[in-house]
Chains A and B, each alone.
Chain A
Amino acid sequence: MQSAKANPVFRALADPTRRAIFEELTRQGEQTVHALTRRAGVSQPAVSKHLAVLKRARLVRHRRDGRETHYRAQPDALAPMVDWLNAYGAFWRERFNDLEAVLERME
């Protein structure tokens, strides 16, 4: 029902601003914090905070280059979420099978 590995990924992506940042990185490739801030419409400290959450979920990686920090998406980190969705798929199919049996028994 709930995978410990998928949990931080879901939590990180539950926030629309973080989702937008992650999307931006998957679409545009590596970006500096400055470039992300220009597009995100929130302050740079806010963007940095969001990036830290994404980093903890291993959804992004960063590298420093002089004064700039560059961020890059790590789409492989989505794999536990995909597994989790597949597991829920199995859960619902089993429920449907049980429902079928219950309906047969009902008046």
Chain B
Amino acid sequence: MSNAAESTRSLIVERVFPHPPEKLWRALTESRVLAQWMMNNDFEPEPGRRFQFRADPMPNWNGIVDCEVLVVEPQRRLSYNWGVGSGELQWLVEWTLTPVDGGTHLRMEQSGFGPDQQQAYQGANYGWQKFFGQLEKVLGGVE
């Protein structure tokens, strides 16, 4: 049932849940439900909406994630950017829902891009993927 695939290109975690896409969509987009498995938040499913996830502060992290909603396709696709450390580090978090036999396949992909590239995030995302792809050989020697 559970499958987590990760690489250094970007982070991908996916799983099939025995629930319909409508229910998963609610868990991803209703602020109160979202808070139960992610973090406290003021999320609204509207493109351009700026919101925050708030957790308890930790060493090296003030507990706040600054986000902006990018894509809302009900029951199919949701994405927002994910900024930590006063916008120094920006990530893109993309959720994809696909109906499958007996449930929904949920895929989360987190990829990185610089704060100067928010406008063209897809291009920047490609840049990182290409970058990490080329570094795979190098990283083989690190681990």
Contacts and interface: CB of A to CB of B under 8 A. Distances in A.
A88 B65 CA distance: 14
Interface stretch (A14-22, A34-42, A45-53, A63-71): A14-22
Interface string B98-136: 000000001010101111110000001001000100110
Interface residues of B, number: 46
A84 B10 CA distance: 12
A73 B131 CA distance: 14
Contact of B11 (A13, A92, A96): A92
Contacts of B23: 103, 106
B37 A75 contact: no
A contacts with B: majority SS: helix
Contacts of A100: 15, 17
B127 A99 contact: no
Interface string B1-18: 010101010010101010
Interface of B: 2, 4, 6, 8, 11, 13, 15, 17, 19, 23-24, 26-27, 33, 36-38, 55, 58, 60-61, 65, 84-85, 88-90, 106, 108, 110, 112-117, 124, 127, 131, 134-135, 138-139, 141-143
A12 to B, nearest CB: 10
Given A75-B138, A98-B37, 11 more contacts: A1-B60, A2-B85, A14-B90, A15-B114, A16-B114, A16-B117, A16-B127, A89-B6, A96-B13, A96-B106, A102-B27
Contacts of A98: 36-38
Contact of B89 (A11, A85, A89): A11
Contact of B88 (A11, A76, A85, A96): A11
Among all A-B residue pairs, the 9 with the closest Cβ atoms:
A14-B114, A98-B37, A92-B13, A99-B37, A75-B138, A2-B61, A1-B61, A4-B60, A102-B37
Contacts of A85: 6, 8, 11
A82 B143 contact: yes
Contacts of B26: 106
A3 interface: yes
Interface string A83-98: 0011011001101101
